[in-house]
Amino acid sequence: MAEEDRMVKMEVDYCDTVAKVIPECETLASENKLNEAIDKLLVLEKQTRAAGDAISSSKVLVCIVSLCYKVQDWTLLKEHVTTLCKKRGHFKLAVTKMVQRCCEMVPEIQDKERKMELIEILRTVTEGKIYVENERARVTRTLASIYEKDDEREKAAKVLQELQVETFGTMEKKEKVEFILEQMRLCFETKDYIRTQIISKKISTKYFEGEDTEELKLRYYRQMIDLNLHHKEYLAVSKNYFEIYKTPSVKDVEQKWKEALQRVVLYLILSEYNNEQSDMLARIKTDTNLSKLPYYQNVLTCFDTAELLNWSILKKVYSQHLKSKPGEPDSPLDKEENWDVLQMRVVEHNIRVLAKYYTRISMQHFADLLHLDLKEAEKRLCEQVVKGTVTAKIDRLDGVICFTKRKDTEQILNAWSGNLNSVMDLIGNVNHLITKERMVHQVS
């Protein structure tokens, strides 16, 4: 067991002595006799440490650093902070109290150079010490903010990434989330998107179900929206906006929930079709607030109905209503590239509809229904087949597309066996009815 981890029984109580010596040392320091005062305190510190009086030792250590700070003797402050933390047999409580007092000094220091020196000293002496991990994290965050003010975001991101706050047992959950959100923000701003994605997974969204978490919840989901938009993961963006939409503080303000719900719908129809997207679309349709946004409700219904959509008509009808108006936040469809994505989603929707209603269709007719040329129509169909959205086979010689799914040998045999059983059941029923009629005829 390490020396500093052992349990020490207090042999002598130095509380009265400390209460008497500390005012005397403060008086000496005010008379420009700092060294004499510190020497006196160091003697007392050794006595309290040897006697196992952790509380008195804490007061002595705090007094030493406080006197150095009061007279602005930075050299002595750094020297004693470093020395006292390294002394053999020091109490964790005493070191913790001293470090906490030094952390209180950091925001009070106006000189940037002095502040940076003290922060670095504190980061050095607290490295590897679990009992002061919270203090180390806080001064590191202060250092990161200084770097950021100096427009050195990469340095700020790097220094903050050193903190694995999710493993800190004594730090409150709220403070942990704030640290992780700050790490995410700096990584995103330095364009380290992969690390941002990794860090974001350290936050459990269940935390946001508790009380007094709305502000952090909104910060988290807005940062996730920026990240998912960078990766063009529109379904994830739609889910993020849906979580914002469900937040009580947003639902209480009509303008805010309308803005959130609009983006839920727009990013949902921009996302690729899959089971998850289809399920979310069905859930959003049942929201009663959607009826207050008729154009958004109608465009959602278009994609949920098994009918062909005409891209030209759809764009003409909805282009003015789905874009942002003056004074409103930007809409996803303000960007022309997103209209191209929406056109692709319309084509994909139409392919699924055709696969549902046709078993065989000529390639030319297929292309005409999609309002595409033959080459483009074939390309879009192949993309959907590769994704597994539809099952199709193209006969190039006859120019025909077959949407029937090819069955393997086992499926064919199972179908044949099922049909044979059905036929035998029917024969048995007919035989029973014929026998019944004969018996009735004989009796009559």
Nearest one of 89, 92, 90, 61 to 77, comparing CA atoms = 61
Q: What angle do CA 304, 309, 315 make, to 5 degrees?
A: 105
Q: How far apart are CA 186 and CA 148, in angstroms?
A: 9
11 DSSP assignment: -
The pLDDT value given to residue 265 = 93
Q: Which distant-in-sequence residues (6+ apart) come within 8 Å of 6 by Cβ?
A: none
221: three-class secondary structure by DSSP: helix
What pLDDT sits at residue 335? 85
Report the pLDDT value the prediction gives residue 11, as an integer from 0 to 100: 64
State how far the Cα of 76 lies from the Cα of 74, in Å rounded to an integer: 5
Q: Could you report the average pLDDT of every consecutive run of 10 residues in the chain (444 residues)?
A: 46 79 85 85 85 85 88 85 80 87 89 89 88 90 91 91 87 92 93 93 90 91 94 94 93 91 93 92 91 91 91 87 76 86 93 92 92 92 90 89 80 85 91 88 79
pLDDT for res 355: 92
The residue ranges of DSSP E strands in 219-364, in sequence order, are 360-362
| Nearest-angstrom CA–CA distance, 303 and 234 | 16
- Six-digit token string for 260: 């959130």
Residue 393, SS3 per DSSP: strand
Q: What is the pLDDT of residue 260?
A: 92
Tokens describing residue 154: 């990469």
Q: What DSSP string describes 21-89? A: HHHHHHHHHHTT-HHHHHHHHHHHHHHHHHHT-HHHHHHHHHHHHHHHHHTT-HHHHHHHHHHHHHSTT
